[in-house]
């Protein structure tokens, strides 16, 4: 079944805190939630949370427990294997496994379910309209990104990219001007400063893995909540980009200054949405003109909340890739905006 099915049929716009197993006042028991999660499947839960699936849809990653991106040095497949019935999963790197509900708890809740309260009427309406939304509603105990102070401290301690040889070389290899990237505040370069524990992958720091190009990620309200680290070294044996280990990366976008202003409620003349760090940096340093907002997305970035920040009537131009993933992004964005804004996608993608 194509990836777009899972993305297009997952409503994640109504998440809130999760009740305990016995909290029947919330409108459901944990057994009800596990059954709803089973109906979505492991793959659907993972994709909705921003994991990336292999082309055959039988594995995905990274692992939300160990942050592994592959099964090992000799097996480059994504670490999480999915059972044939889409009901179970196992990480071949760390050995964790379970069913769709256990994966939902880890991805949406960051640890054990809390004893928070929910709205019983809303839960029942979600079950009636779309059980997928209800699963996320019940699964989310905490909506955690890294602490804001840690994110800002890391960003402020990093260097301008023009002052870093490796970062500058990587940018110039993609015909990007390091000075223009610095002038627009789009990225910074990690040096040898102390890094928070989440700035690591497979037990190695981002500096050690050459993931030294930092790009800020913003919430729907235009607040910097996290970062994405892009490798500036050889890509054949490592993931191109990493997120803070153990924290959520979904529903965050890259944004230039006008894009941030739009998210904060300001008007814009038009919006360009691109896919991935290289295309975002290219668009933000070359395509921008007064009033044009630039947003960059990756797996799990787009959300109904972000869509709601786009002013009515603003032309939206999609510059996503012409492949299955890009088509899924385009379909999702079109579905959330087409009733309010003209949405265009060049044939070339």
Helices (H), the chain: 3-8, 30-40, 42-48, 100-109, 120-129, 131-139, 148-157, 165-173, 178-183, 257-263, 277-282, 304-308, 324-337
What are the extents of the domains in the chain? 3-139, 148-242, 254-344
Give the per-residue pLDDT at 27: 42
Residue 50 has pLDDT above 50, yes or no: yes
Burial class (CB in 10 A: 0-12, 13-18, 19+), 248: buried
Supply 199's token pair. Answer: 């700035």
The fold of 148-242 is DNA primase DNAg catalytic core, N-terminal domain (3.90.980)
What is the mean pLDDT of the segment spanning 217-221?
94
Helix axes 120-129, 131-139, angle to 10 degrees: 140
What is the mean pLDDT of the segment spanning 298-318?
89
Rounded CA gap, 145 and 166, in Å?
28
What is the mean pLDDT of the segment spanning 125-135?
50
Give the per-residue pLDDT at 248: 75
Higher pLDDT, 108 or 79: 79
Rounded CA gap, 159 and 156, in Å?
8
Q: Is 31 helix (H, G, I), strand (E, B) or coil?
A: helix
Give the per-residue pLDDT at 216: 97
Among 22-31, 171-180, 296-305, 339-348, the minimum mean pLDDT is found in: 22-31
- The segment with the largest mean pLDDT, out of 230-239, 240-249, 336-345, is 336-345
Residue 281 has pLDDT above 60, yes or no: yes
Q: How many CB atoms lie within 10 A of CB 204?
A: 12
Supply 318's token pair. Answer: 């999609």
Rounded CA gap, 252 and 268, in Å?
20
Give the per-residue pLDDT at 174: 93
Give the per-residue pLDDT at 330: 85
Residue 7 has pLDDT above 50, yes or no: no
The fold of 254-344 is Dna Topoisomerase Vi A Subunit; Chain: A, domain 2 (3.40.1360)
Residue 4 has pLDDT above 70, yes or no: no
3-state helix, strand, coil in the chain (%, to 5): 35, 20, 45
Residue 110 has pLDDT above 60, yes or no: no
Contact by Cβ (8 Å): 185, 158: no
What is the mean pLDDT of the segment spanning 128-144?
50
Taking the chain, what is the end-to-end CA distance rounded to the nearest angstrom?
23
Give the per-residue pLDDT at 97: 85
Rounded CA gap, 4 and 116, in Å?
32
Higher pLDDT, 192 or 343: 343
Q: Is 96 helix (H, G, I), strand (E, B) or coil?
A: coil
The vertex-305 CA angle with 25 and 197, nearest 5°, equals 85
CA-CA-CA-CA dihedral for 103, 104, 108, 112, to nearest 10: -70
Rounded percentage of the chain residues whose pLDDT exceeds 70: 78
pTM over 0.75: no
Higher pLDDT, 259 or 2: 259
Give the per-residue pLDDT at 234: 74
* pLDDT grade for 255, boundaries at 50, 70 and 90: very high
* pLDDT grade for 328, boundaries at 50, 70 and 90: confident
pLDDT digits (tens, 9 = 90+) for 67-85: 788 888 888 899 999 999 9
Residue 324 has pLDDT above 80, yes or no: no
Residue 14 has pLDDT above 50, yes or no: no
Q: How many CB atoms lie within 10 A of CB 268?
A: 18
Give the per-residue pLDDT at 149: 92
CA-CA-CA-CA dihedral for 273, 279, 13, 152, to nearest 10: -120
pLDDT digits (tens, 9 = 90+) for 53-70: 888 889 999 887 777 888
Contact by Cβ (8 Å): 55, 147: no
Distance of CA 318 to the CA centre of its chain: 18
Give the per-residue pLDDT at 45: 81
The vertex-224 CA angle with 172 and 160, nearest 5°, equals 30
Considering only CA atoms, which of 36, 31, 28, 49 is closest in space to residue 117? 28
Higher pLDDT, 222 or 22: 222
Contact by Cβ (8 Å): 255, 310: no
Identical fold between 148-242 and 254-344: no
Please state, rounded to an integer, the average pLDDT across all residues of the chain.
79
pLDDT digits (tens, 9 = 90+) for 194-209: 899 899 887 889 999 8
- Strands 211-218 vs 292-297: parallel, antiparallel or unpaired: unpaired
Contact by Cβ (8 Å): 228, 169: no
**How many alpha carbons fall within 13 Å on the CB side of residue 328?**
23
């Amino acid at each position: 079944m194509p990836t777009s099915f899972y993305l297009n049929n997952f409503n994640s716009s109504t998440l809130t805190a999760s009740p305990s197993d016995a909290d029947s006042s919330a409108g459901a028991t944990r057994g009800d939630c596990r059954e709803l999660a089973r109906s979505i499947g492991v793959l659907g839960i993972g994709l909705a949370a921003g994991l990336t699936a292999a082309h055959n849809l039988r594995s995905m990653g990274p692992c939300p427990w160990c942050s592994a991106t592959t099964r090992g040095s000799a097996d480059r497949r994504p670490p999480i294997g999915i059972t044939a019935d889409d009901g179970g999963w196992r990480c071949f790197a760390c050995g964790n496994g379970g069913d769709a509900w256990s994966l939902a708890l880890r991805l949406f809740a960051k640890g054990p379910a809390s004893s928070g309260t929910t709205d019983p009427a809303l839960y029942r309406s979600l079950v009636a309209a779309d059980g997928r939304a209800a699963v996320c509603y019940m699964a989310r105990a905490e909506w955690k990104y890294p602490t804001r102070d840690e994110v800002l401290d890391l960003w402020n301690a990093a260097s301008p990219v023009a002052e870093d040889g490796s970062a500058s070389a990587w940018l110039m290899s993609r015909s990007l001007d390091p000075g223009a990237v610095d002038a627009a505040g789009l990225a910074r370069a990690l040096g040898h400063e102390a890094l928070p524990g989440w700035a690591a992958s497979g037990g190695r720091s981002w500096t050690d893995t050459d993931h030294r190009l930092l790009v800020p990620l913003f919430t729907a309200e235009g607040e910097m909540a996290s970062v994405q680290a892009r490798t500036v070294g050889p890509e054949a044996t490592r993931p191109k980009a990493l997120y803070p280990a153990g924290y959520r990366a979904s529903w965050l976008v890259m944004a230039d200054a006008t894009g941030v202003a739009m998210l904060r409620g300001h008007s814009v003349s038009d919006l360009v949405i691109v896919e991935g760090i290289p295309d975002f940096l290219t668009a933000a340093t070359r395509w921008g003109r007064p009033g044009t907002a630039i947003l960059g997305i990756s797996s799990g970035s787009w959300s109904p909340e972000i869509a709601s920040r786009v002013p009515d009537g603003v032309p939206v131009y999609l510059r996503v890739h012409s492949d299955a993933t890009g088509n899924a992004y385009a379909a999702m964005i079109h579905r959330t905006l087409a009733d309010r804004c003209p949405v265009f996608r060049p044939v070339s993608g």
